[in-house]
Amino acid sequence: MIGSVFLTYVKRKFKREDKDTEIYQATTDTIADMRLQFKSEDYKEETYSSGISTIGEYKLGLPSDYGHIIGNISITDTDADEKYPPLHKISKEKYDEKYNQRLLTDTGNMDTATPTEFCIYAKQIYVGPVPDKTTYRYQFNYTTEDYTEIAADTDPVPFASMYRNVLRSGVLAEIHDGLENFEESAYWRAIYLQGLGKIADNDEDNIRDDDGVQFRGI
């Protein structure tokens, strides 16, 4: 749905013709909020990285559109065609405590091995221990982060197809809040939050495994 069409859709409920700019701004803000509230299937990616090219390096750059990592990181050895258990995520504080030898200037004094853990810091992935090979490849899933200023010619407006009624409710909540129509804002906010809950539940149904499901014959 293009921006101007979504504007008309919002104005079916918001009976004013003098707030188009505010509606576009509220749409921009609501889309940003929706992307924070749940990990939408519309904005997920899988990537592979082999960015460590020298023994002694331990940092991997994150994609430019990175928002949030999903799950752990898988690791394989492309040279030996081997795979290992997924890397376990830890805090930066714990990483610094366990892997302070990474700061040594002489790589011969480092304890290098197959990485087993990682942390995220300053838009980079720190793996530990310091890798003993440069042939490891790291795979991870993440949500993308992208800012779009919504205008009349925006095509498509994010979430305005499958979730257009939820997006509209959020926009109306923002508009009425800005006009200090707090009762109306609260009404639309409740509908918006209820819609977000349904979206999150639907996405969870799509991606969860079936380990707990039992099928019985007739």
- Domain count for the chain, please give it: 2
Task: Say if residue 59 is in the same domain as residue 129.
Answer: yes
Task: Say if residue 73 is in the same domain as residue 130.
Answer: yes
**217 vs 105, more confident:** 105
Which two structure tokens, joined as six digits, stand for 206?
Answer: 């799509």
- Give the span between the Cα atoms of 23 and 7, in whole angstroms: 7
In a domain, 153, yes or no: no
Task: Say if residue 53 is in the same domain as residue 18.
Answer: no
In a domain, 152, yes or no: no
Give me Rg for the CA atoms of the chain: 23
Task: Say if residue 36 is in the same domain as residue 46.
Answer: no
Domain with 25, as residue range(s), is 3-40+159-204
Task: Say if residue 15 is in the same domain as residue 82.
Answer: no
In a domain, 218, yes or no: no
Model pLDDT for residues 66-118, shown as the tens digit of each residue? 877 888 899 999 887 777 899 999 999 999 999 998 888 787 778 899 999 99
In a domain, 76, yes or no: yes
Task: Say if residue 104 is in the same domain as residue 46.
Answer: yes
Task: Say if residue 133 is in the same domain as residue 53.
Answer: yes
Looking at the DSSP bridge assignments, the partners of residue 83 are 76
In a domain, 131, yes or no: yes
| Predicted confidence (pLDDT) at residue 177 exceeds the cutoff of 90 | yes
- Give the span between the Cα atoms of 121 and 76, in whole angstroms: 22
Using 50, 70 and 90 to split pLDDT, how confident is the model at 210?
low
pTM for the whole thing? Answer: 0.68
**218 vs 189, more confident:** 189
Helix 164-178 vs helix 20-37: crossing angle, to nearest 10: 120
